Amino acid sequence: MSKVKSMNTKPEVLFRKALWSQGIRYRLHSTLPGKPDLVIPKKRILIFIDGFFWHQCPIHGSIPISNSVFWEQKLRRNVERDQNVNQCLEDLGWLVLRFWECEVKKQLSDIVDTVATITNK
């Protein structure tokens, strides 16, 4: 289950285009722990766009009813792994930003503003 998100999901593409139009330059396909979706090397910023199901968004993430014990454990491990990855990357001196894919879809401009504010500091 290392590659749980598809490469070019649409909200992520829109997000990247919006960042680019704000003059924010990033790289893709990082090999850092957890494979961040975007890397802004100059600012030591990493961005993850997390899918609501695999990373268990508090609003939309839910445990499937069938096979619930299996899913509960599997999804809990994903969430724990995200936390470990965050810690590991922070220890390496990165600022880690995580956004929910569903959030990116609905509040794209707010999220882009947030990233722009942080990167301009």
Return residues touching Zn ion (CB under 5 A).
52, 57, 59-60, 100, 102
Q: In the complex, what is the shortest distance from the CB of residue 107 to Zn ion, in angstroms, rounded to a whole number? A: 11
Q: In the complex, what is the shortest distance from the CB of residue 101 to Zn ion, in angstroms, rounded to a whole number? A: 7
Closest to Zn ion by CB, 11 vs 24, is 11
Q: In the complex, what is the shortest distance from the CB of residue 11 to Zn ion, in angstroms, rounded to a whole number? A: 11
Start-to-end CA span in the chain (Å) = 36
Closest to Zn ion by CB, 59 vs 69, is 59
Closest to Zn ion by CB, 94 vs 99, is 99
Distance CA 100, CA 111 (A): 10
Q: Nearest to residue 30, comparing CAs of 48, 10, 12, 14?
A: 48
Per the CB < 8 A criterion, the answer to whether 29 and 15 are in contact is no
